[in-house]
Structure 1
Amino acid sequence: MTLYIDGDALPRLLKPILLRAIERRKLPTVVVSNKRITLGPSRKVEYLVVGEGADMADQRIVELCAPGDLVVTADIPLADRVVAKGAHALDHRGTLYTPDNIKEHLAMRNLMESIRESGEITKGPKSFGTKDAHAFANQLNTFLSSLERERENPSFLKRLTTEKAGLSE
């Protein structure tokens, strides 16, 4: 598994969390962004700077990711595209996007965007804080631990993602 990080708009609070996980689990990682972003010193991290332009980083992540990879992004349309490819997506606040829940999140995002475009004033997301970083760290750890268990018990990851989506088998 490769970890891909959508570096554009990555909260600073997540950098040390990600770096610890990368180093501890020896995760090959690619940070894709429009400008140089660093997580910290690591031989496991490759930085890929793409040209500026709408969704250039997103397009590159979609091209690179493969089934089973994990993409860290707050961009729900990007999450939808990588989940459709069989990869996993985790947002900055700890939401794990799955085939079972991504369309609901995408529909809500599109609805809110439509309301904003119509001139209605809506609040944006609350500012990113320590609680969000903890939720992200917990979900990242749960996900990565589940990969280790998956090697021993192939039905575990499917059960985990189904439970996180609020579904029962």
Structure 2
Amino acid sequence: MKIWVDADACPVPVKEMLFRAAERTQITTTLVANSKMQVPKSTYIFSVKVDSGADVADAWIVEHLKGKDLVITADVPLAADVIKKGGLALSPRGSLFSPETIKAQLTMRNFMDELRGSGVVTGGQAAFSHADRQTFANQLDKILTRYRKQGG
């Protein structure tokens, strides 16, 4: 298993948790972004700067992802591609995307995009909270524990 991070919009506390997890579990963790990312000096933590442009980082992650890898992203279309390829997708707020729910999530995302495109103000996401951090940490721990039990 490797961990890939859609890093441009990933909250700093989530990145810090992932850095600690990479060291603790010795799982390669790669942050992918359109800009240079600072990462701790580590045998297990890397960053990749991709060209600017819509979905360039997403395409890079999908291209390099192998089945059972974990991708951290809030991007629903990227999560759908990850699931289609056999990987796991976890949002920075701790929601695990699943094959059973991804189609409905894509539909809702597209609907909200249409509303915003037509000028309807839909508001944004709430600020990243302590509860979000805790939910993410718990879900990440479950995934990594399951991976280790399976002989990872």
1:96 and 1:145 mapped to 2: Cα distance?
15
Residue 38 of structure 1 deviates from its aligned partner by 2.4
The question of whether the paired residues in 2 share the 8 Å contact of 1:34 and 1:51 is answered with yes
Residue 150 of structure 1 deviates from its aligned partner by 3.0
TM-score by length of 1: 0.85
The question of whether the paired residues in 2 share the 8 Å contact of 1:15 and 1:39 is answered with no
2:129 and 2:40 mapped to 1: Cα distance?
21
Name the SS of the counterpart of 2:8 in structure 1.
coil
2:40 and 2:97 mapped to 1: Cα distance?
27
> What are the superposed Cα offsets for residues 51-110 of structure 1, whole Å, 9 maximum, x if unpaired?
111111011001000110000011111111111000110001001112112112111111
Name the SS of the counterpart of 2:131 in structure 1.
helix
Identity across the alignment (%): 41
State which drifts further: 87-96 or 12-21: 12-21
1:97 and 1:38 mapped to 2: Cα distance?
27
Name the SS of the counterpart of 2:51 in structure 1.
coil
> What are the superposed Cα offsets for residues 100-148 of structure 1, whole Å, 9 maximum, x if unpaired?
1211211111111111112111111111122111111110001111112
**2:81 aligned with 1:81:** yes
Residue 132 of structure 2 aligns to which amino acid in structure 1? D
The question of whether the paired residues in 2 share the 8 Å contact of 1:16 and 1:39 is answered with no
Residue 8 of structure 1 deviates from its aligned partner by 0.8
**2:45 aligned with 1:45:** yes
4+ long deviations beyond 3 Å: none
**2:31 aligned with 1:31:** yes
Map of 2:119 onto structure 1: 119
2:106 and 2:138 mapped to 1: Cα distance?
23
Residue 149 of structure 1 deviates from its aligned partner by 2.5
The question of whether the paired residues in 1 share the 8 Å contact of 2:39 and 2:46 is answered with no
State which drifts further: 29-38 or 52-61: 29-38
Once the two structures are superposed, the pairs formed by residues 3-14 of structure 1 within 5 Å of their partners are 3-14=3-14
Residue 62 of structure 2 aligns to which amino acid in structure 1? V
State which drifts further: 57-66 or 143-152: 143-152
Map of 2:69 onto structure 1: 69
The question of whether the paired residues in 2 share the 8 Å contact of 1:13 and 1:130 is answered with no
Residue 100 of structure 2 aligns to which amino acid in structure 1? D
- Runs (5+) with no aligned partner, structure 2: none
Name the SS of the counterpart of 1:27 in structure 2.
coil
Map of 2:98 onto structure 1: 98
Map of 1:17 onto structure 2: 17
- Cα root mean square deviation, aligned: 1.4
